[in-house]
Amino acid sequence: MSILTSALPSFVCVDGEKFEINTDFKVYLSLESIIFDNSVSVYRRTAKILALCYKKLPSSLDGALEALMEFYAGGSDMQKKYDDGRKDNGRVLSFEEDAPYILSSFLTEYGINLLTAHLHWWEFLALLKGLRPSCRLCEVIKYRTVDLSKIKNREQRKFYARQKRLYALKRFEGDGEIAENLLKIF
């Protein structure tokens, strides 16, 4: 399915039945803080996520989570690309920690103020993926992902090591399969 030629989905299929979901990008941005809230049990976090995303909950919770993860990834085609092509190098993006970079990058690149915008989650993902490498968010991600062993120049390696430490994301002990599956996408 192409987001340019088809209407963006407002539902997911669970066991052959369509279930309407919330498609507002801000809902999906908030999932990260729910997932890592270790003051709440994994069961309550899962229930909160499902309640935020589904208008009516499917009877199969496993099916509901699987469909939600596919939607979160931007569809089955995108989920397959992430599963096939991504090395497990840890998180490189945090919607919570990188909020200022995301906000400024969208405003600079697209003239979109995310504080007032109304975007479908997949529209947000497409715009996020389309950011130019020179935008601040992409520069920060580059610092996090640079392979220091491939930098031969000592001064450059020192610079990138410092930037890597400066922009490192907080380490979380995310328990539960939901955290692992949702966050491996980013």
- Identify the segments of the chain with pLDDT beneath 70: 1, 76-89, 172-186
Clarify whether residues 165 and 99 are in a common domain. Answer: yes
Same domain assignment for residues 107 and 154: yes
Calculate ∠ Cα 82-122-120, nearest 5°: 155
Rounded to 5 degrees, φ, ψ at 139 are -65, -45
Q: Cβ atoms within 10 A of the Cβ of 135, count?
A: 17
Q: Which of 60, 86, 112 is the last residue of a domain?
A: 86
Category of 75 on φ-ψ map: left (φ > 0), alpha (ψ -120 to 50) or beta: left
Q: How far is CA 91 from the centre of its chain?
A: 10
Same domain assignment for residues 3 and 80: yes
pLDDT at 172: 65
73 with 138, same domain: the answer is: no
Q: Is residue 186 one of the residues assigned to a domain?
A: no
pLDDT at 82: 42
Structural domain boundaries, residue 104: 90-170
pTM of the model: 0.84
Query: Domains in the chain: how many in total?
Result: 2
Domain boundary among 63, 86, 109: 86
